[in-house]
Homo-oligomer: A and B are copies of this chain.
Amino acid sequence: MAQASYKSPGLSPGTLVYVGDKTAEATRISVVDFTNDDIEEASDVPIDDLQMFLKRDSVTWITVSGIQDVDVIEDIGKLCGLHPLILEDVVNTNHRPKMDAFDDYFFLILKLPLLDSSDGSLALEHICMVVGKGFIISFEEMEGEIFTPIRDRLWHSKGRIRRYGADYLAYALIDMVVDHYFEVLEEVGEEIETIQESVLDHPEPGILSEIQNLRHKLVLLRKSIWPQREVLSSLLRGESEMIDEKILLYYQDVYDHVIQVADTVETNRDQMSGILEIYISSVSIKMNEVMKVLTIIATLFIPLTFLAGVYGMNFKYMPELEWHYSYPLFWGMVLACLCAMLIWFKRNRWL
């Protein structure tokens, strides 16, 4: 059965409809709970235990992976007191990045770019976060290794990430998402380099679909990075009061990175359209060369063929046919013709 990719018109807002195309995966909840001194990790936590963690006077990071099961998401939402519209956005994997500020928490949608190593296609993982005083709830489409480095950092370091609160942890997560863009852009940059070289050296028709592919990737990246810029900019403007003044500097830093990503994407798009122009030009230059060859050959031999045809005619009275030196004379004319033509071509810079 085909899965709807949008909720159908007239459905009540706040109705949770999962629109992704991932195969169903059980929703799993894991928790990392830490203070500067202690850290505790639990996976496959039952929903009812979440309350216990949240009540503690520590930073609680709840990770929900697998968002196909809308009922579970709804239960989590109720238990944590989240607004129903947020939950609708969590399961709507087509939703663009955004930030909603509420009294007790703010809600983020981010997009994490992932290159499929097999066919080089680009997927945008839908990542949501609810960040409040002392807790973060993060949602990811599939159980993945995405947040593992952060979890490791929490275990192994006693640095800022343990000392500061949920706002710093949220920063670390956003920073990690943005760093993925740099990874992807580096690969894309290399692909562009490769295409550019082959366009200038030996343009081949197959390049067209490669160009179209790359352009599509850049459109996807652009479409996902620009709203994230707005997200960070509204956080920097202090639309949510959840972020400490002191931590804002870090958000400024990740904002700079987002701008750099956006910049690079624009530059790449520019380059791509330059490459297409160059490709089209070089195709028509090649055509020009082909035409020149045809024209030179035809222009050289068509008049001569006519001449040969003339002396192949069977008229009874053709005086030249009887002359003794007609044949060498004919070859002389041919050579003269050829030379004149070649000189003319030379003058017109065709050779």
Residues on A facing B (Cβ under 8 Å) = 5-14, 83, 85, 88, 94-96, 98, 100, 148-150, 152-153, 157, 159-161, 171-172, 175-177, 179-180, 182-183, 186, 196, 200, 202, 205, 208-209, 211-212, 215-216, 219, 223, 249-250, 252-254, 256, 259-260, 263, 267, 270-271, 274, 276-288, 290-295, 297-299, 301-306, 308-327, 330, 349-350
The closest CB in chain B to the CB of A13 belongs to B175
A200–B212 contact, CB under 8 A? Answer: yes
Known: A285-B205, A298-B302. A182 touches B6 (CB 8 A): yes
Partner of A291, one of B153, B200, B290: B290
B267–A223 contact, CB under 8 A? Answer: yes
Could you list 21 A-B pairs, sorted by A, with CB under 8 Å? A10-B150, A12-B161, A83-B249, A96-B263, A200-B208, A200-B209, A200-B212, A205-B285, A208-B278, A208-B281, A216-B271, A276-B281, A280-B284, A286-B288, A294-B295, A297-B302, A301-B302, A309-B309, A311-B313, A312-B314, A315-B321
A327–B317 contact, CB under 8 A? Answer: yes
The closest CB in chain B to the CB of A322 belongs to B316
The closest CB in chain B to the CB of A178 belongs to B9
* Complex-state Cα separation, A150 to B94, whole angstroms: 24
Copies of this chain held together in the complex: 5
Which 9 pairs across A and B sit closest by C-beta, in order of nearness? A10-B149, A308-B309, A9-B179, A6-B182, A311-B313, A294-B295, A312-B312, A305-B306, A301-B302
Given the complex, which residues of B lie within 8 Å of A200, measured CB to CB? 208-209, 212
* Complex-state Cα separation, A235 to B238, whole angstroms: 22
Q: How far is the CB of A258 from chain B (nearest CB, A)?
A: 11
* Complex-state Cα separation, A274 to B306, whole angstroms: 46
Partner of A315, one of B11, B14, B327: B327
* Complex-state Cα separation, A326 to B321, whole angstroms: 14
Q: How far is the CB of A97 from chain B (nearest CB, A)?
A: 10
Given the complex, which residues of B lie within 8 Å of A175, measured CB to CB? 13
* Complex-state Cα separation, A171 to B13, whole angstroms: 10
The closest CB in chain B to the CB of A272 belongs to B274
13 new A-B contacts, CB < 8 A, other than A211-B278, A297-B298, are A88-B253, A100-B252, A196-B212, A208-B278, A208-B285, A212-B278, A280-B280, A280-B284, A308-B309, A313-B327, A313-B330, A316-B324, A319-B327
Q: How far is the CB of A254 from chain B (nearest CB, A)?
A: 8
B179–A10 contact, CB under 8 A? Answer: yes
Given the complex, which residues of B lie within 8 Å of A157, measured CB to CB? 12
* Complex-state Cα separation, A98 to B148, whole angstroms: 32
* Complex-state Cα separation, A171 to B85, whole angstroms: 13
The closest CB in chain B to the CB of A320 belongs to B315
* Complex-state Cα separation, A73 to B190, whole angstroms: 30
* Complex-state Cα separation, A257 to B203, whole angstroms: 42
A85–B6 contact, CB under 8 A? Answer: no
B292–A292 contact, CB under 8 A? Answer: no
A96–B256 contact, CB under 8 A? Answer: yes
The closest CB in chain B to the CB of A6 belongs to B182
Interface centre among A94, A209, A309 (most CB of B within 10 A): A309
A315–B293 contact, CB under 8 A? Answer: no
Given the complex, which residues of B lie within 8 Å of A6, measured CB to CB? 179, 182-183, 186
